[in-house]
Structure formats: C-alpha cells, structure tokens
Amino acid sequence: MYNGQNDDLNRQGKCLKSLIIKKILDNREPMLYVDVNLGQSGSQRIVVFEGDKAEELAANFAARFGLDAGMQEKLATMLQQQISGVLEKIDEEVASSSNNSGLME
C-alpha cells in the first residue's frame, strides 16, 4: 500500500509540475502558426514559440497524429524553414529599427 501511495504522489507531483510549466509557457507570444494538412482528417495547427526546436515540434506532432518517420522528417524540415524565415524577418526589423532610431536623435 505504501508503494501505491508513493506512485500517486509522484503522479500528482508530475501533473502539478506540468501545469506550472504550461502556465509559464502560455504567457509567451507565439512566433509562428503552421497549419498542417492531414488529408481526410483535416488540418491541425502547430504553434511555434521562440526557442522551440523544429525536430521536437515535429516529433511531438508525429506522435500525436500518427505520422510515419518520413513524414516527421519532412515536417521537421518544413518547420525549420518556416522558423528560419521568421527569424530573418525579425532580424531585419530589428536592424531597420536601430537604423531608424539613429535618425530621430
């Protein structure tokens, strides 16, 4: 019985930790939304936050929606391209903003 109580406490602790992490992460601004067409199943959205890794996002999505390894790899590649494109735009905006701020002084 003691081991069962420990298991329950461990599960509760993991759930609480998961909820705390989710709450912290929910306060972040999404960097990118990617809609993935799943054929007859419709489409599902991947929300990308700063610091997310394309491989991890693709692996989680593949596990959740039953994608095979080949599709997971294609999704990871596509996500990386999308993330890189957004990061380039952000860098351009920052550079443009810092150049324009010099004109205002």
Q: How far apart are CA 39 and CA 44, in angstroms?
A: 10
For residue 102, the model assigns a pLDDT of 55
In-domain check, residue 10: no
For residue 97, the model assigns a pLDDT of 74
Q: How far apart are CA 17 and CA 97, in angstroms?
A: 39
In-domain check, residue 15: no
The answer to whether 31 and 46 have CB atoms below 8 angstroms apart is no
For residue 63, the model assigns a pLDDT of 95
In-domain check, residue 8: no
In-domain check, residue 73: yes
CATH number of domain containing 45? 3.10.20.870
For residue 94, the model assigns a pLDDT of 75
Q: How far apart are CA 12 and CA 94, in angstroms?
A: 44
For residue 28, the model assigns a pLDDT of 77
Q: Is the pTM of this model over 0.75?
A: no
Domain membership of residue 77 as a residue range: 29-104
List the chain pLDDT tens, one digit each, 105 residues. Answer: 455 556 655 666 665 666 566 656 667 788 999 999 999 989 999 999 888 999 999 999 999 999 999 999 999 999 999 999 987 877 777 777 777 665 555
In-domain check, residue 13: no
In-domain check, residue 83: yes
Please name the amino acid found at residue 11: R
30: tokens are: 């999404």
In-domain check, residue 12: no
For residue 1, the model assigns a pLDDT of 46
Into how many domains does the chain fold?
1
The answer to whether 75 and 44 have CB atoms below 8 angstroms apart is no
C-alpha dihedral over 33, 39, 40, 41, to 10 degrees?
Answer: -40
